[in-house]
Structure 1
Amino acid sequence: MPNAPLGGGKFPRGEAAVLRPLVAVAVAAASAVTSPAVAPAHAAPDQAQHLTALVRGMSLEQKVGQLFVTYLHGQSPDEAHPGNVRDFGVATPAEVVAKFQPGGVVYFNNSSYDNVDTPRQIATLSNGLQRASRVPLAIATDQEMGIVTRIGAPATQFPGNMALGAGRSAANAEHAARITARELRAMGITQNFAPDADVNSNPANPVIGVRSYSSDPALAAELTAAQVRGYQGRYLAKHTVSATAKHFPGHGDTDTDSHSTLPTVDRTEAEWSEVDAPPFRAAIAAGIDSVMTAHITMPKIDPSGEPATLSKPSLDLLRENLGYDGVVITDSLAMAGVRQLHSDAEIPVLALKAGVDQLLMPVDLELAVNSVLAAVRGGELTERRIDQSVLRILRMKFLRGMLTGPLVDVDKVDSAVGPAEHLAAAAEITDRTVTAVRNDAGVLPLRAKPTAALVTGWGETTTRTLAGVLGGTALPTGSAPTQAQITAAVQAAGNADVVVVLTNALSRQPAQQTLLTSLLATGKPVIAVAVQNPYDVAHTAAPTWLATYSYGAVSMAALARVITGEASPVGKLPVEVPGPTPYPFGHGLEW
C-alpha cells in the first residue's frame, strides 16, 4: 500500500509552505528568458531549467496530483454538494481541490456536473478554486461551439466546426476561436478541449458528425490550424487559452460511440497518415498545447485490442511519427470505451505507460491517484517518467500564462463576455455558413417577408427560435412525430404562406420523412432545413433544401436572413453526401 496517499488528507505543512514560493521564483526566472511574441516549439533551455527545478522541489504526491484533471459538483467554491461527499469525501469544490491538489479541473453544464450559471458565477468559482490550489490549476471546459457548448449565452455563440467548414474561411475560423478564448479566459478558464480535429469520413458516425470540420483532410487541417492560432495567440498573453486537438489518432471513421462502447477503426498506418493525421499534423505545426486521445481500437496499428488511450503503438504515432512533445490528455476515463478491458485502478497507470500526461475524470479520483503512487513506489512506473509529464504540464501552464496570475477580475467579466462587437462578428461569420443545397422550385429567396410562416419539425427550442425571428408560428413535432402531430402540422399549413420544416437525422427517422412528404403534398411552399448533419438532404423529394449544421440561435438567425433574402447563401458542403439523391463535396447554390 502507498504511504501517505494523496487522497488521504492535506500535504504536510512544510511542503505547502515551500511550494508556492518555489512556483513564484521558477515562474519569475522563466519569464525573464521568454519572449511573449515568440512561439517556440519547446521551452528555451534556461526556462526549462527553472521549470525542472520547480518539479524537483515537489513531493511525489504533489507531482502525481498534477497529472489529474477532475470534475467537481457545484457552482461556487464553498457550495456544499452531496455529489462531492459521495465522490471525493469532502463537501465543497474548494475542499476537493485542497484535498487532492489536482493539476486541473473541468467545468460542465449538465445534470451530472452542473458548474455553469453566469459569467460572473464562473469567474468567482474559478478564483475560489485557484485560491485552494498550491500550484495554479488548468481550468478546462469543452467549448467546441455548435452541439458541444458548455457555456451558453450571454457568452458569444458560434455554429460549430462543420458550419465553419462550409464557410471555407480560415480567417473566420481563427476569429471565432480568438473571441471564444478571450471570453473563456475572462471567466478564469485556461484550457479549451477544442478544436475537434477528427475527419468525419463516416456519414454514420454517431458521436463526431458536425463536430468535425469536414470529410476532407486538407480542409479539416487548414481550419484546425486556424483555430489553434485563434485560441492560443501569443505566449504569456492573458486573453488566450490552451487548445486541445482531439480525438487522436482520429475518431472520424467510427460507427459506434466511445461513450458507451469501444469502437474499432480498421485503418492501416498508411491510410491513417493520409486521412486522419493531417489535422493533427497541422495542429502541431501551429503550436498546439495539448492533444486528447480517443478511446478507439486500431487493430492494424496495435493488434493487442487496447484503446488508443492505453496503446503505446498508437501514441507513438503522435510522439514519434508526428514529433509531438506537448501535453497528451486522455478523453474522460469514465467513458465505457476505455473501461472494457481493465479496472479503474489499472487504467491511469497503463495510460502513463502509453505516453499520456494528463488523466481526465477518473471514476474514482482517490483510487486513481493512489494507484499511480503505488505503481511508482512498486517500480512499475519510474519517478522520472512522472517528472516528464509534470514538466510538460507545467510548461503548458507557464507558456499560456496560467502560472503568472491565475485570478481574474470578477467585476470586469460581464463586460468581457458577449460584448456587441463579438455578437456582430458571430452573426457575420455564421451568415457565411448556411448552404443552399437545392432550390428547384425557385422558392428562395422569398420575395417578401412572410406574414404567416409555419415552422415545424425537429427541436422544441429551435422551431420556436426560428419562428420568433420570422414572425411566424412554431409547431414542434420532435424527432419522431406521431401521426396526430403530422396531421396537426398539415392542418396548420393551410393557414401558412410558407412552411419551414426542420430535420435532424431524418435519414434514420421515417416519421420525419413522412412529415416532410405530407407537408409537400399540401401545395404550400415548403423549405426543408437540415439543422445538424447535412446528410438529411439526400432523402425525400423536397425541391428546396438548406443546411445549417447547427441549431443554435445564431444559426437560426442566419437561416432566417437567407430565407428572406437579407443574406446570400455562400456555404459549400464540407462533406460528400451519399444517399438516394447524393451531393458532392463542395456543392452549394448561390443567389
Structure 2
Amino acid sequence: METHPRRTVLAAALGAAAAAAVAGPAEADGGRRRSFVKRRLRAMSLEEKVGQLFTTYAYGQTADTTAAADVAANQAAHGVDNATALIATYHLGGIIYFAWSNNVANPDQITALSNGLQDAALEGCGTPLFIATDQEHGLVTRIGPPATQLPGAMALGATHDPEAARAAAVLSGTELRAMGLNQNFAPDADVNVNPANPVIGVRSFGSDPEHVAAMVAAQVEGYQARGDLASTVKHFPGHGDTADDSHAELPRIEHTYEEWRAIDAPPFAAAIDAGVDVVMTAHLQFPALDASLRPATLSEPVLTGLLREELGYDGLVVTDSLQMDGVREGYGDDRVPVLALQAGADVLLMPMDIDLAYNAVLAAVAEGELTERRIDASVTRILDLKYRLGLFEDPYADPDLVGQVVGTAANLEAAQALSDRTTTLVVNDGTLPTPTDGGFVLVTGWGETTTNVVAAEFGARGWSAERVVTGLAPTAAQIAAAAAAADGKGLVVVCTNGIADNPAQADLVDALAATGVPLVALGVRNPYDIAYVADSVHAYLATYSYAADGLESAVRAITGALAPQGRLPVDIPHADDPEAVLFPFGHGLEY
C-alpha cells in the first residue's frame, strides 16, 4: 500500500484513542465507546459540532481539485474552490458522491478521492467523514461500471428470496467500502402500493408489506455484515402511496394511522430490529400522523413520536436532500435545518445554501431556539456511529486492493446469476421460448441504449436484429416505421417504459400486433405496462430495469436459454379499474 505519512500519524493518534474497538467483550467495548465519544464531544467547539450535522456534495474528482469547471461549480454552490476548503470552512460531518458532481469516474479515482477527503477532515477538526452515496442499484445507481451492477429492489423482490437481497447487499457493500465509502443510502423501505407512484416504483421491493419487510431486513444485514458500512433505510414514514414527486412538490399520503401501521411501518420496524444504522426522512405530508401538515422531515410527531418513541429507534436520522422542493415549500432555507433538528433529525443532507444553513443553526443556538444540549445529542449519535464503523481507527481505503475487490469476474458472474432469477414471465400464449435457433428479429420501442443492448444480445445468439427506436412518446410516423420494419421478421420485441403516462406506446404495441408477427413486450421499468397491452402481445416479460444484466436475462429467456424464475412482487391492477387485480402478487409463468 502506498505510504501516506500524514495519514499514518493522524490515524495512529485517533486509533490509540479508539483502540478499544479492536478487542474485548461487547459490554466493555460499549463502555469504552461511550467514554471515547464523550471525550471527543467535550473537545469540540460549537462550530465543529454544528458542522458535523451536515452532509453535502462537492464538485471534483479529487479533494483539492483545481480543475476550472469544478472550481467554478464549487464557488457557485458553496463559495469555496474545492472539497478540502469546504470541509475546512464548515467542519463537515459527511460528503455525498454523485456523477453530476464529477465524483465517480472509476474505482481508482473514487478511492483516491475518498482518502483525500479523509485527509482533509482529519487535518481540520480531526473527525473522520461519513462518505455516502445512493447506490440502490437498478434505477438509482450512482457508481457505474466497472463497479458491479446489481438488480434493483423490485427486481430482487421478484426472487421472493431474502437471501438474494442479502447477497446483493454484501457484494455491493464490500465494493463500496473498498472505494472508501462508509455509508450507503439504501435500501428503499417504501411499500409501493400505488402503481402511479412517480418517484418510488421499482425502487421498492414490492407492494406487500411483509414481503418488503423481509427483503429490507436482509439488505440491512447484508450491507452492515462487515461492520464498516452504514445502511440507510428510506423514506420514513413511507413514500409508497404518493402520486407526486417530492423532488418537485409536497406529496400527501392519506393513509389512516391504522393503515400506516399495517402498510408503511412494517419494513421500517423490520430494519430497526435488524439493527439499521440510519433512517432517512421523507418530504411529504401525512395528515393522520401529523395534523399540522408539516413535511415529515420537519415533524416532531413523526420523527420523535413515531420513529423514536413508538418504533423504539435510537440510531441516526438523516433528512432527505434539503434542496428538494417538497421540504422547501413554505419554509425558508434558513428555517428548514433548524426545524428538522427540532423535529428529531440528526444529519442535514445537502442544504440549498451551506453557509446560510450552517449559520442559521449557530444563530438558533445563540438565540435559545436550539440548545447546545440538543446539538450534542445528535453529534453524540454521529460520533458513536463513526466509532462503530471503525473510522476513528482507520478511515482509509487501500488503493492497492480496490482492483481485487471492485468489479471482479466473480462479482460480475454473481450479479448476472442474481439477475437471471428476477426475470418474470407474466403473459405467454405459447410463443415463448422461441422455437428457432436464430432468425430475423425487430427490436423496437423505448430507449436508444436499451434497444441497442437487446439487439446486441440477439445478435450474439445468432439472430439478425434490426432496430427501430421510437422513444417515450412515439409519433404516428415512428409507429408506422416500426410496423413497416416488422415485415418479414420472425419475431418482434418491443420495449415499453411507462405506458400509463405515455399512451402512444400502447398505440405502437397495437400497430405491431396488427402485423401478425409474433410480438413480445419487455416492461423495462415498472411492470404495470402489461395492463395496457395484455390483449395485444403474445408474451410479456418484466425486467424491472433497463440495466444490461436484466436485458441479457430477458433475451436468454425469450430464446429458451434461461427458464424464467421471477414472480411478481406487486399486484398489477386493470388499466380501467385500479381496484381490480389483473395479475396478483406472486404471479409468474414458467417453461
TM-score band, normalised by shorter chain: over 0.9
1:126 match: secondary structure: helix
After superposition, the CA RMSD in angstroms is 1.7
Q: Which residue of 2 aligns with 1:432?
A: 421
- Matched residue type, 1:385: R
User: 1:422-461 residue pairs with structure 2 within 5 A?
Assistant: 422-440=411-429, 442-461=430-449
- Matched residue type, 2:53: L
User: 1:78-477 residue pairs with structure 2 within 5 A?
Assistant: 78-80=64-66, 81-110=71-100, 113-133=101-121, 134-235=126-227, 240-315=228-303, 316-440=305-429, 442-471=430-459, 472-477=465-470
User: 1:36-55 residue pairs with structure 2 within 5 A?
Assistant: 44-55=30-41
1:437 match: secondary structure: strand
- Matched residue type, 1:27: A
Q: Which residue of 1 aligns with 2:486?
A: 493
- Matched residue type, 2:484: Q
8 Å contact from structure 1 (residues 30, 51) kept in 2: no
> In the TM superposition, what is the alpha-carbon distance from 1:228 to its structure 2 partner?
0.5
| 1:284-306 residue CA offsets vs partner (Å, 9 max, x unmatched) | 11110000000001111111110
> In the TM superposition, what is the alpha-carbon distance from 1:115 to its structure 2 partner?
1.4
> In the TM superposition, what is the alpha-carbon distance from 1:586 to its structure 2 partner?
1.1
Structure 2: which 5+ runs fail to align? Answer: 1-8, 460-464, 576-580
- Matched residue type, 2:74: N
- Matched residue type, 1:568: A
| 1:349-392 residue CA offsets vs partner (Å, 9 max, x unmatched) | 11111100000000111111111111112211111111111111
2:246 match: secondary structure: coil
> In the TM superposition, what is the alpha-carbon distance from 1:406 to its structure 2 partner?
1.2
Structure 1 CA distance for aligned equivalents of residues 547 and 466 of structure 2: 18
1:582 match: secondary structure: strand
Q: Which residue of 1 aligns with 2:557?
A: 562
Instruction: Give the total of aligned pairs.
Output: 562
Provide closer, same or farther for how the CA distance between residues 411 and 19 of structure 1 changes in structure 2, counting only shifts above 3 A. closer
2:176 match: secondary structure: helix
1:369 match: secondary structure: helix
8 Å contact from structure 2 (residues 284, 296) kept in 1: yes
8 Å contact from structure 2 (residues 151, 418) kept in 1: no
- Matched residue type, 1:358: V
Q: Which residue of 1 aligns with 2:527?
A: 534
> In the TM superposition, what is the alpha-carbon distance from 1:32 to its structure 2 partner?
4.5
Structure 2 CA distance for aligned equivalents of residues 530 and 402 of structure 1: 43
Structure 2 CA distance for aligned equivalents of residues 68 and 26 of structure 1: 24
Q: Which residue of 2 aligns with 1:12?
A: none
> In the TM superposition, what is the alpha-carbon distance from 1:468 to its structure 2 partner?
0.4
> In the TM superposition, what is the alpha-carbon distance from 1:90 to its structure 2 partner?
1.6
Structure 2 CA distance for aligned equivalents of residues 137 and 427 of structure 1: 33
Q: Does 1:588 align with 2:579?
A: no
Q: Which residue of 1 aligns with 2:578?
A: none
8 Å contact from structure 1 (residues 19, 58) kept in 2: no
> In the TM superposition, what is the alpha-carbon distance from 1:204 to its structure 2 partner?
1.0
Give the stretch that moved more between structures: 286-295 or 385-394: 385-394
2:583 match: secondary structure: coil
1:291 match: secondary structure: strand
Structure 2 CA distance for aligned equivalents of residues 347 and 539 of structure 1: 42
> In the TM superposition, what is the alpha-carbon distance from 1:31 to its structure 2 partner?
4.3
| 1:504-553 residue CA offsets vs partner (Å, 9 max, x unmatched) | 01122221011111111111111011111111011121231111111100
What TM-score do you get using the length of structure 1 for normalisation? 0.92
Structure 2 CA distance for aligned equivalents of residues 328 and 132 of structure 1: 25
What TM-score do you get using the length of structure 2 for normalisation? 0.92
